[in-house]
Amino acid sequence: MKVDTMRFVDKYFGVPLCLIGTAVFKIFLRPKKNVKPKNILFIELSEMGSAILVDPAMQKAKKTFDAELFFLIFKKNKPSLQLLNTVEDKNIFTINADGIISLIKDTWKFLLWARKRNIDTVIDLELFSRYSGLLAGFAGADNIVAFNNFHGEGLYKGNMVTHKVMYNSHMHISKNFIAMVNALMSDKKEVPYSKTKIDDSETVLRKAEISEELKEKVAEKIKNIIPEYKRGDKIVLINPNASELLPQRRWDRNKYKDLINKILEEYKDVYILITGAPGERTEAKQLADKCGDRCFSFAGEVKFSELIGLYELSKIMITNDSGPAHFAAVTSMPTIVIFGPETPALYSSLGKTRPVYAHLACSPCVSAANHRKTPCKDNVCLQMITVDDVFNTFKEEYNG
């Protein structure tokens, strides 16, 4: 299902369903009060990067309540959860969002699945999605934690929440997620939750376990592309892609071409691999063909589960603001992330990362308040970022 179709369904079907759902919830469900969390379900459907950013919050919930964790996510995004394996595979439910029929069928299956597992607590991580609000409200839980817009206008998602958390647009999203866990820890009702201070130390991200076997497997795949490659050679990764959710995040490919050639000219001992999904092979090859002879297309050459092996073997990655920046955070590889419609203040990777950001008055233009849909057709916020801006940041990280 296309992103705009999902937004349409969420708005025009979600609002009346949330209104009806709230009435049913208030009359028939009536959650028990003061239930200690034991089986906690996290809902994050659409963002693969957020499945990484929520990990510190999940770790805190698991440790604080000695709870079993569960997760609900769109099927295509499940692999991101498996990079850290915080949630057991048997406790992950996926929804196929490719079409309306599959969406409805899987929604019904989920509601039965949640009740069979005695889910007592739901933490809805989505930023004001009506669909996730309905899933949270009817999962049978006694504790329902979600962001609430309180006196803000718009983005109505019903009133099926026991712990209403103030979404803070001036605080990194990982801390917003931790605030939701803190709401469950409060010994009294708060309006709004959560009246707590969250220290930077709480957002430290665990590193993935990366075996030598995996690294050797990926090294062989690199060698298939670069016959002279050997372990220890310096690899620079370039990720010029961004999801269809927000195509405005893509820095110009001609600038990527100039950047790649500049790196190859200055650093004679590096290889550059252009990464991407299997469906991005053609674009990656076209870009590689415009660059020097130490630049290669590597799109589609590794499975998602092998990405962390590639990152661990690489010196550094330059990427648009997209999932790979967050996936790399579970490894030791540093990243340089080019931001435009989003802000690093909210969505910077939790790994070793350097943002490149123009700080325009109109940026960020996407937020929780507009379903991350911008009217912009001219991403000057990225156009203003020059090749030298990125190259100079690259040199500082590479040489440091």
DSSP string, 219-253: HHHHHHHSTT--TT-EEEEEE----TT-GGGPPPH
Which phi and psi angles does 129 have, rounded to 5°?
Answer: -80, 130
Neighbours of 149 (CB within 10 A): 17
The pLDDT of residue 9: 86
- Token representation of residue 349: 């990777």
The answer to whether residues 164 and 304 belong to one domain is no
The answer to whether residues 23 and 75 belong to one domain is yes
- Token representation of residue 157: 């998602």
Domain that holds residue 78: 3-203
Which among 203, 220, 246 is the end of a domain?
A: 203
CA distance 298 to 98: 27
CA distance 317 to 330: 13
The answer to whether residues 297 and 357 belong to one domain is yes
The answer to whether residues 77 and 217 belong to one domain is no
Which residues lie below 8 Å from residue 157, measured CB to CB, with a gap of 6+?
A: 14, 18, 128, 129, 130, 133, 146
The answer to whether residues 249 and 388 belong to one domain is yes
The answer to whether residues 297 and 149 belong to one domain is no
The answer to whether residues 263 and 348 belong to one domain is yes
Query: Could you report the per-residue pLDDT of 231-283, keeping only the tens digit for each?
Result: 999 999 999 988 777 788 899 999 999 999 999 999 999 999 999 999 999 99
In terms of C-beta distances under 8 Å and separation of at least 24 residues, what long-range contacts does 163-170 make, across chains too? 163/193, 164/191, 164/192, 164/193, 165/192, 165/193, 165/194, 166/192, 166/193, 166/194, 167/127, 167/128, 167/368, 169/346, 169/367, 169/368, 170/345
Contact yes or no for 137/43 (Cβ under 8 A): no
The pLDDT of residue 154: 66
The pLDDT of residue 387: 98
- Token representation of residue 75: 């099927």
- Token representation of residue 201: 């130390």
CA distance 375 to 255: 24
The pLDDT of residue 156: 80
Which among 203, 238, 266 is the end of a domain?
A: 203
Contact yes or no for 218/306 (Cβ under 8 A): yes
Q: Which of 197, 168, 183, 201 is nearest to 346 (CA)?
A: 168
CA distance 45 to 300: 24
The answer to whether residues 224 and 191 belong to one domain is no
The answer to whether residues 68 and 157 belong to one domain is yes
CA distance 196 to 190: 11
- Token representation of residue 74: 């769109």
Sign for the CA dihedral angle at 33, 36, 39, 42 comes to positive
The answer to whether residues 195 and 217 belong to one domain is no
pTM: 0.94
The answer to whether residues 65 and 183 belong to one domain is yes
Q: Which of 240, 205, 238, 222 is nearest to 327 (CA)?
A: 205
Report the CATH number at residue 167: 3.40.50.2000
Which among 203, 238, 257 is the end of a domain?
A: 203
Q: Which of 108, 130, 138, 106 is nearest to 41 (CA)?
A: 138
The answer to whether residues 154 and 283 belong to one domain is no
Total number of domains in the chain? 2
Counting as low any pLDDT under 70, the low residues of the chain are: 153-154
Q: Give the start-end residues of each E strand in 16-159.
A: 39-43, 68-74, 92-95, 121-124, 143-148
CB crowding 154-173: b at 16 or more within 10 Å, else e: ebbbbbbbbbbbbbbeeebb
